[in-house]
Amino acid sequence: MSRNDNIAYVRTDMLPEAAPPPGTAGLGKWLRENLFAGPFNTAMTILAIYVVWSILSSSVPWMYNGIWNASSLSECREIRDARGLESAACWAVINERWLQMLFGFYPTDNPLLARLFYADELEAAGGAEVVFGGGITVTQRVAFISAMKDDLNNSTLFFFGYWRPLAALALLVVAVAPVLYSNLPRALLVFSLAYPFIAFFLLWGGSVWLPVLVALGLVATVLAGRFAAGFIGSLGGFFVGLIVFLLFFMNPLGIDGLFPLLPKLRGMLDGAMPWGLPYISSENFGGFMLAIIIGTSGIVLSLPLGIALALGRQSNMPLIKWVCVSFIEVIRGVPLIVWLFTASTLLNYFLPPGTTFDLLLRVIIMVTLFASAYLAEVVRGGLAALPTGQYEAASSLGLDYWKSMRLIILPQALKISIPGIVNTFIGLFKDTTLVVFIGLRDPLGLTNAIRATSEWNGIYWELYIFVGALFFVFCFFMSRYSMYLERRLRTDHR
């Protein structure tokens, strides 16, 4: 550029940045673009503000002014009138009954509580063996325990009375963490595998040797199978594993004597080292604990079953395909409540005469089967979404069916179906409330039980909000986790 001297003035420095015109930046711009863009949008905003205001203006004071200390609904109302309040929540019912809502009628571990907090009273009554060992009459024992419970506050009871379910829950978090977050050490997965047995022992109690021996039996099955597979091929290894399993858990030959090994070993060990916790039957389980037990077992068990069903449905063996399709369609076509009803009333007809087993176990099996049919459809969607080239590529590398599934197909198909899988899990967890219809004490069933007492007759909102909030927290966590997982596993370039 040549210098032109005719120009009177040449600016040599940059102008400072001018502030944007008013209304095109900051809060004003945001408001205009997001809330008041055009008359229709403004009308919508005003309507939304009105709706939000009318909900919050009635519910927030009601919650905030809630009464936390009262022993009955009528007392709540008296306090409310005394304070001159229009409406007030009666949170006192939660304050009084939250332990029951969480644990149902799970017995608190009374000997522990007595030893910790009432050592003197326990000595005066004759010591733990006398009070809890059946030495004195039932009435006296009940009197001691109920006096103790009345004296303790809910928080003490929570931490020391329910230490078994609480420990199971805490260990659940430890067991689940390495599965959910891959940056944790992989060695923790061993604990995840052992967790079901630990949880069983903590929740049900009884002899420690039953869960230990079942775990050992399964480990022995797998190890024997692996070991034999090294010599005689994978099919032979499978049969060796099967034989070990049968010898350990069943009596395939019908010979009385040494087999099955499990009860024999258990008898020996119980005789030598009678360790254990007091047995608690699952009739006493209830509350949110029940929802977590059914939900977690259902989730853990239904995933492998669902994947197997999805693969079966894609199989090119007509019989396997036909069986899987009819299983999936029949399970999905009928509501869960009918299946639960089947589990509670009809299952005994289908089992060998004289077999009875726990209602909770039956419910877990039914819920697992139900969720696995839904999962199978979700996973099938993922399998169908993979391009055929992936299957062909796996075959051309010389991988056999199981290897190509394990290494090529399923990792991709499962990644695609993560949102659907997690939605199924959320649905399963929410559906655990349906067990109320077959007489298990789930949180909603307990709200009915609480309302049936004369103190809390006519209380609805507080209980429903409490139960709803508990479920919301769990389900919301699951849905956020699935979003996180999708982000983390995303490998395409966006």
Residues that bind other proteins (CB under 8 A): 33-35, 37, 41, 44-45, 48-49, 51-52, 235, 316-320, 323, 329-330, 332-338, 341-342, 345-346, 348-353, 395, 426, 430-431, 433-434, 436-437, 444, 458, 460-461, 464, 467-468, 471-472, 475-476, 479
Q: What is the distance between the alpha carbons of residues 451 and 457, in angstroms, rounded to a whole number?
A: 5
Q: How far is the CB of 435 from other proteins (least distance, A)?
A: 10
**Of 145 and 422, which has the nearer Cβ to other proteins?**
422
**Of 227 and 238, which has the nearer Cβ to other proteins?**
238
- The answer to whether 446 and 285 are in contact (CB under 8 A) is no
Tokens of 126: 């004759």
Q: How far is the CB of 348 from other proteins (least distance, A)?
A: 7
The Cα-based distances of 64 to 52, 91, 407 in angstroms read 17, 10, 55
- Per residue, the 3-state secondary structure of the chain, as one string, reads CCCCCCCCCCCCCCCCCCCCCCCCCHHHHHHHHHCCCHHHHHHHHHHHHHHHHHHHHHHHHHHHCCCCCCCCHHHHHHHHHHHCCCCCCCCHHHHHHHHHHHHCCCCCCHHHHHHHHCHHHHHHHCCHHHHHCCCCCHHHHHHHHHHHHHHCCHHHHHHHHCHHHHHHHHHHHHHHHHHHCCCCCCCHHHHHHHHHHHHHHHHHCEECHHHHHHHHHHHHHHHHHHHHHHHHHHHHHHHHHHHHHHHHHCCCCCCCCCCCHHHHHHHHHHHHCCCEECCCCHHHCEHHHHHHHHHHHHHHHHHHHHHHHHHHHHCCCHHHHHHHHHHHHHHHHCCHHHHHHHHHHHHHHHCCCCCCCCHHHHHHHHHHHHHHHHHHHHHHHHHHHCCHHHHHHHHHCCCCHHHHHHHHHHHHHHHHCHHHHHHHHHHHHHHHHHHHHHCCECHHHHHHHHHCCCCCCCCCHHHHHHHHHHHHHHHHHHHHHHHHHHHHHCCCCC
**Of 176 and 320, which has the nearer Cβ to other proteins?**
320
Q: How far is the CB of 423 from other proteins (least distance, A)?
A: 9
**Of 195 and 425, which has the nearer Cβ to other proteins?**
425
Q: How far is the CB of 258 from other proteins (least distance, A)?
A: 26
**Of 253 and 317, which has the nearer Cβ to other proteins?**
317
**Of 105 and 464, which has the nearer Cβ to other proteins?**
464
Q: How many CB atoms lie within 10 A of CB 322?
A: 13
Q: What is the distance between the alpha carbons of residues 145 and 103, in angstroms, rounded to a whole number?
A: 18
- The answer to whether 267 and 197 are in contact (CB under 8 A) is no
Question: 476-480, long-range: CB within 8 Å, 24+ apart, which pairs?
Answer: 478/422, 478/425, 478/426, 478/429, 479/422, 479/423, 479/426
**Of 131 and 434, which has the nearer Cβ to other proteins?**
434
Q: What is the distance between the alpha carbons of residues 169 and 199, in angstroms, rounded to a whole number?
A: 8
**Of 207 and 344, which has the nearer Cβ to other proteins?**
344
Q: How far is the CB of 139 from other proteins (least distance, A)?
A: 38
Q: How far is the CB of 356 from other proteins (least distance, A)?
A: 12
Q: How far is the CB of 420 from other proteins (least distance, A)?
A: 10
**Of 181 and 461, which has the nearer Cβ to other proteins?**
461
Closest to 97 in 3D by CA, of 475, 443, 404? 443
Q: How far is the CB of 158 from other proteins (least distance, A)?
A: 24
**Of 336 and 405, which has the nearer Cβ to other proteins?**
336
**Of 264 and 332, which has the nearer Cβ to other proteins?**
332
**Of 297 and 432, which has the nearer Cβ to other proteins?**
432
**Of 95 and 433, which has the nearer Cβ to other proteins?**
433
